[in-house]
Chain A
């Protein structure tokens, strides 16, 4: 009997773990209590004091956030608690969004409640704070800032989307594992950067090269073989889901479930350009992204291989019969797609933080960009991604930031209703 109870408890524990899933796989040691993570612009904030008291004001515990910005407090009794963040211990350049530094969460029996303190950079000294003025000029300042951030995000999505779209165009594969290729790039760069101690720039270059090689290998030893077997494209699509799950959890094992940051360029002070405040790394990243996109676009339009790639995307049989080595073109596309997806991952890791689900989280946005521009058209993917990025960021002028992706996904569905072929797509592609 006793054994049965133990077994059952173990099983229930396993189930809780299962059902809770990887999405909120937080610190496993928190059994009943409160926890949270403090981040400023995606970077962890440590050394912040957080005091937990009962509803009546009895002190429970005082903690400081660790290097990952995380904190947790175990409590004996379920019920309402009061969590106070000591504003004095925040970094100089940070403040709490909304200004309120107390939260009153409820702890349920055997549960760990997350307490959210959203941090934002403080307005530069002597300048009016954005929330306070609320006037027209501040609206346009914010709009300009968000447009800039939208371009930043849009370019990252565009890098990933270009690869996805080219692969789709040449092989017909809707690759659900493309998000994992993005994560892979970021994690490889992190490995070279933090693990081997290389500076981020050579680490990133190395990561992009390795990811390109892996992209080549993936087609050479996996997708190419499947094509030769005559696997249907729906089967391949479901296989790509399996590949995504496989890669995601392999990376979880090697990388762990925590948020990490690169060793360099993490906390750069912002510079002001006109109405926009941004870290210099963002300008450099956008420059690199633009340059890569232009080079790839130029290569598609002007080089022999690029023309061959477009021919294969148009009609593989005809391309093959006019002497194009279709397999070779597809292999080049996979190599390129893997490499630029990895670059997108590095850039994403630079502007946010690194996590094993980072690619999965933007996969739908990549799909949205690709679909919006027209599946299988390289330049459509570019335009679509920029629209998605801009839309997501600028929409936060009106919608809460946590729902910003919802807007983009709704737009995706509406576009499919009125113009299913996308912005630059052709009518017959949707079938």
Chain B
């Protein structure tokens, strides 16, 4: 058992690009679900349109990187408007089904052969991140330090993505903190608690929900950019429904309706996932566990995610930081 490697990868998982991109998307979910009580199950689509907006603009249209980012953001806003108009007046469970349906429509279009010239079919698009990495201030090499015997090093391109990503997380958390302290944020929470009461005070519930959907969607789309830039490619199946479900697991794990809840949730989620996967894979590889194959270890991890989600909601729906009174888990 190579414990050094296991501990090293586990520690790195706490701040790595996966954590960054899922944390950003989870902050978006937290605005939807945690603060407004909207069950948006289509967050993966927001990440998808952002990633593909960037990729297609740069690779197919040959425009510069910044235009791609702008296109991605615009696509996310447009998607929020398109998705919100038919769904925001519906009850929570209908909203969930329709947002999933919308996200699947988008994924199927991305991977279709009919649009292969634009979106690249199931292989996706690659080769659009040069513009971003050209801005990197880090010269080539490995960066990091040794924590006792444990090496923690990242290559320069990954470090650049991480630095930008964590800056974005800090920015988004700051925005969420300020907004939720403002009167606007109080209206969102009031909608979560009692929509009719808010309506009777003369607020346009639909309009507030739409603003929440757009804001959360745009923050989620930042996660899509980070994914595209870190992986150097976008592929349609990454933006599937399961991604959204993992995001919900992170939000609930960290604590919904808490500013830092989704960030902590994403960190804990990935640390546990990487730790469990590496430990099991090592144990299988070195013959300590014989009833599993390395291929099945991947599945064991997701079984534990499912189990974790069930146990969390039954025994601690408020997660690590949350307040039970603030969780929108009852019918309205």
| Cβ contacts under 8 Å, B64 to chain A | none
Partner of B101, one of A232, A235, A241, A412: A412
Q: Are B151 and A3 in contact (CB under 8 A)?
A: yes
Partner of A108, one of B91, B93, B126: B126
Partner of A238, one of B123, B298, B299, B329: B329
Knowing A3-B4, A11-B12, A410-B105, the reply to whether A250 touches B317 (Cβ < 8 A) is: no
| Cβ contacts under 8 Å, B59 to chain A | none
Q: Are A172 and B231 in contact (CB under 8 A)?
A: no
Instruction: Give the docked Cα–Cα distance between A276 and B313 (Å).
Output: 50
| Cβ contacts under 8 Å, B313 to chain A | 231, 235, 238-239, 242
Interface of A is mostly: helix
Q: Are B310 and A242 in contact (CB under 8 A)?
A: yes
A4 in contact (CB, < 8 A): yes
Which residues of chain B in 90-138 are interfacial with respect to chain A, using CB atoms and an 8 Å cutoff? Answer: 90-94, 96-98, 100-102, 104-105, 108-109, 111-114, 122-123, 126
B65 in contact (CB, < 8 A): no
| Cβ contacts under 8 Å, B273 to chain A | 18
Instruction: Give the docked Cα–Cα distance between A172 and B112 (Å).
Output: 35
Q: Are B112 and A237 in contact (CB under 8 A)?
A: no
Least CB distance from A96 to B in Å reads 14
A234 in contact (CB, < 8 A): yes
Q: Are A234 and B86 in contact (CB under 8 A)?
A: no
| Cβ contacts under 8 Å, B153 to chain A | 4, 8
B1 in contact (CB, < 8 A): no
Q: Are A242 and B309 in contact (CB under 8 A)?
A: yes
The residue on B at minimum CB distance from A244 is B306
Instruction: Give the docked Cα–Cα distance between A17 and B123 (Å).
Output: 15
The residue on B at minimum CB distance from A250 is B303
Partner of B18, one of A15, A257, A412: A15
B277 in contact (CB, < 8 A): yes
Report B232-265 CB contacts with A as 1/0, cut-off 8 Å.
0001011010100100110010000000000000
Q: How large is the interface on A (under 10, 10 to 19, 20 to 34, 35 or more residues)?
A: 35 or more
Q: Are A371 and B9 in contact (CB under 8 A)?
A: no
Least CB distance from A266 to B in Å reads 26
Instruction: Give the docked Cα–Cα distance between A430 and B306 (Å).
Output: 29
Which residues of chain A in 397-415 are interfacial with respect to chain B, using CB atoms and an 8 Å cutoff? Answer: 400, 402-403, 405-406, 409-410, 412-414
Instruction: Give the docked Cα–Cα distance between A248 and B307 (Å).
Output: 12
Q: Are A416 and B91 in contact (CB under 8 A)?
A: no
A14 in contact (CB, < 8 A): yes
Q: Which of A19-27, A53-61, A79-87, A133-141 contacts B (4 or more CB under 8 A)?
A: A19-27
Least CB distance from B33 to A in Å reads 9
Partner of A416, one of B94, B151, B277: B94
B39 in contact (CB, < 8 A): yes
Least CB distance from A362 to B in Å reads 12
Knowing A238-B252, A406-B108, the reply to whether A7 touches B8 (Cβ < 8 A) is: yes
Q: Are A430 and B90 in contact (CB under 8 A)?
A: yes
B288 in contact (CB, < 8 A): no
A271 in contact (CB, < 8 A): no
Q: Which residues of B are at the interface with A, using a C-beta cutoff of 8 A?
A: 4-5, 8-9, 12-13, 16, 18, 39, 86-87, 89-94, 96-98, 100-102, 104-105, 108-109, 111-114, 122-123, 126, 142, 144, 151, 153-155, 231, 235, 237-238, 240, 242, 245, 248-249, 252, 273-274, 277-278, 292, 295-296, 298-300, 302-303, 305-310, 313-314, 317, 328-332
Subset of 5 A-B contacts with CB under 8 Å: A20-B237, A231-B314, A402-B113, A412-B98, A431-B332
Q: Which residues of A are at the interface with B, using a C-beta cutoff of 8 A?
A: 1, 3-4, 6-8, 10-11, 14-15, 17-25, 28, 108, 111, 113-114, 116, 172, 174, 226, 229, 231-235, 237-239, 241-250, 252-253, 257, 364, 367-368, 371, 375, 400, 402-403, 405-406, 409-410, 412-414, 416-417, 420, 430-431
With A18-B273, A405-B108, A430-B94 given, name 5 new contacts (CB 8 A).
A1-B142, A8-B153, A241-B306, A371-B97, A416-B86
